[in-house]
Amino acid sequence: MPSHHDTAARLREAYAGGAVPPLRDALEPGDADGAYAVQTINTRYWEAQGRRIVGRKAGLTAKAVQTQLGVDQPDFGVLFDDMRIADGGTLDPAKTLQPKAEAEIAFVLGADLPDPATTVEQVAAAVGSVHAAIEIVDSRIADWKISFADTVADNGSSAFFVLAEQGLPLAGLDLEGAAMEMDVGGTTASTGVGAAALGNPLNAAAWLAQTLAGRGEPLKAGDILLAGALGPMVALTSGDHVEARIAGIGRCSFTYRA
């Protein structure tokens, strides 16, 4: 069986060399510990290459997606500084393999969250600002034929993200009820609501805070948290302009072209 280091290298090489078959020879579909070990190897590798961690993403926050992959928990991936696309900016298709866009609510923390028993109330108190966001997910696994272990090992199938320049204070916002519309190529391609992310995006953020503190990698002031998709993800075609609008929170956009 390939080692975790071999599996991590296989995933790193896929970014440039093309998607690889599912990692069944190396990881059982539900092997969370092994998959996070692979993710961590690559995180440390990329940090050594000079990439800087700016936050985390929560994935699998929709019950339907958990059911599809046969799991009962979300997952997370690492956000690096070079994954951020400016609001209104462009993403070169040459930097992706099989990308899809999803609209999310994001938080920027104003305080550290060091407690493995972090509550939703503690997260709310630590939120500095709330933003509309778009995550561009991508898979280094061919045809998106992913298990839970595949997506975790592959940094939560993350690739790029857009954060609305303007954030709002949390007080008074209806995160659960916030309606989302995402236009792709001039047509509304995805709709949803804040409650799609574990009932409330703050629940996803609390899960992230608890999980990362328990791993000895607590969230810190300034970190960006992507709290999970609010509606179906949409495959991208070169030339697409993508705009997410989240009622009461804001909007952001990017264009998928060279």
Q: Is the pLDDT of residue 167 over 90?
A: yes
Q: Predicted confidence band at 67 (pLDDT cuts at 50, 70, 90)?
A: confident
Q: What is the mean pLDDT of residues 148-162?
A: 98
Strand partners, 201: none
Domain enclosing residue 12, as ranges: 4-256
More confident residue, 63 or 177: 177
pLDDT tens readout for residues 223-257: 999 999 999 999 999 999 999 999 999 999 999 99
pLDDT of res. 42: 98
Q: What is the mean pLDDT of residues 185-208?
A: 97
Diameter over CA atoms, the chain: 52
Q: What is the mean pLDDT of residues 102-131?
A: 98
Q: What percent of the chain has pLDDT over 90?
A: 96
Q: Is the pLDDT of residue 64 over 90?
A: no
Q: How far apart are CA 6 and CA 125, in angstroms?
A: 42
CATH number at residue 133: 3.90.850.10
pLDDT of res. 69: 87
Q: How far apart are CA 96 and CA 231, in angstroms?
A: 21
Q: What is the mean pLDDT of residues 4-27?
A: 98
Q: What is the mean pLDDT of residues 207-229?
A: 98
> HSE of 135 in the Cβ direction (CA atoms, 13 Å)?
30
Least confident of 66-75, 132-141, 215-224: 66-75
Contact between 162 and 87 (Cβ < 8 Å) = yes
Contact between 137 and 233 (Cβ < 8 Å) = yes
> HSE of 209 in the Cβ direction (CA atoms, 13 Å)?
29
User: CB-based contacts of 247: which residues, under 8 Å, 6+ apart?
Assistant: 178, 179, 180
**What's the structural domain count of the chain?**
1
> b or e along 121-159 (b: 16 or more beta carbons within 10 Å of the residue's beta carbon)?
eebbebbebbbbbbbbbbbbbeebebbbbbbbbbbbbbb
Q: What is the mean pLDDT of residues 28-37?
A: 97
User: CB-based contacts of 68: which residues, under 8 Å, 6+ apart?
Assistant: none
Q: Is the pTM for the entire model greater than 0.95? A: yes
CB count in 10 Å sphere of residue 238: 12
Q: How far apart are CA 66 and CA 74, in angstroms?
A: 7
